A and B are shown apart, each in its own frame.
Chain A
Amino acid sequence: GENVEQHPSTLSVQEGDSAVIKCTYSDSASNYFPWYKQELGKGPQLIIDIRSNVGEKKDQRIAVTLNKTAKHFSLHITETQPEDSAVYFCAASTNFNKFYFGSGTKLNVKP
């Protein structure tokens, strides 16, 4: 099956700085790559996603890039704010059947 690896496991940045989280996947059939934010005691929430026919997608301060050849994708958060502090998960899926998640990155934005 698919194997998704996520780095780093923890990330601490100053408010206003940028944060980058990286994931790699193993199955070349994967064609959908979502990113989720999970706050303490809650379920994950989709923040941005990208399909395999797109190289980059941006939504305000959040962007995702995908390199199909290298099988890696990244989440970029610019101008970080304290409310961005949470655990972030990447995932990979083939046609929305099975989803495989990374192990998570705990982001701490220091005011």
Chain B
Amino acid sequence: NAGVTQTPKFRVLKTGQSMTLLCAQDMNHEYMYWYRQDPGMGLRLIHYSVGEGTTAKGEVPDGYNVSRLKKQNFLLGLESAAPSQTSVYFCASIRDRASYEQYFGPGTRLTVT
């Protein structure tokens, strides 16, 4: 049982490049979330999903897209990276509304130059 895993761990992009971050969980969780963490600002929700095939916008969705084609995977895409997207990205999941514990992945550090 690996929990929540994120790929890659580190990435450097040039402005305008695109990339996809992968979040995978092996706990059969329904809810999945993508956050970004910037110094002094805590975590901010980018997008979330309440089940396979569904996604919704969070607090800071602009410049990002997501997909949840399979229950265990939640992908975060940056179509045209900007320096303002330099951040640490965390994925998280919750089993369902009866079990509230949010499990976080180890994070992806992204730098856009």
A73 CB–B CB distance under 8 Å = no
Q: Are B106 and A42 neighbours in the complex by a CB distance under 8 Å?
A: yes
- Contact status of A98 and B42, CB under 8 A, knowing A43-B105, A44-B90, A45-B104: no
Chain A interface size range: 20 to 34
Q: Are A43 and B104 neighbours in the complex by a CB distance under 8 Å?
A: yes
A99 and B42 CA atoms in complex are apart in Å by: 11
Q: Is the interface of B mostly helix, strand, loop or mixed?
A: strand
**Shortest beta-carbon distance from A96 to chain B in Å:** 6
A25 CB–B CB distance under 8 Å = no
Q: How many residues of B contact A (CB 8 A)?
A: 27
**Shortest beta-carbon distance from A43 to chain B in Å:** 3
Residues of B within 8 A of A103 (CB): 40-42
What are the interface flags for B82-104 relative to A under an 8 Å C-beta threshold, 1 for contact and 0 otherwise? 00000000101010010011111
Q: Which of A6, A43, A97 contacts B106 (CB 8 A)?
A: A43
Residues of A within 8 A of B92 (CB): 43
Residues of B within 8 A of A101 (CB): 35, 42-44
For the A-B complex with A44-B104, A101-B35, A101-B43 known, give 18 more contacts whose Cβ atoms are closer than 8 Å.
A4-B42, A6-B42, A36-B104, A42-B106, A43-B4, A43-B90, A43-B92, A44-B43, A44-B90, A46-B101, A89-B42, A96-B94, A97-B48, A98-B45, A98-B48, A98-B59, A100-B45, A103-B42
Offer 21 A-B interface pairs, CB within 8 angstroms, sorted by A.
A1-B59, A4-B42, A6-B42, A9-B40, A32-B100, A36-B104, A41-B107, A42-B106, A42-B107, A43-B90, A43-B104, A43-B107, A46-B102, A96-B94, A96-B100, A97-B48, A98-B45, A98-B48, A98-B59, A99-B102, A104-B40
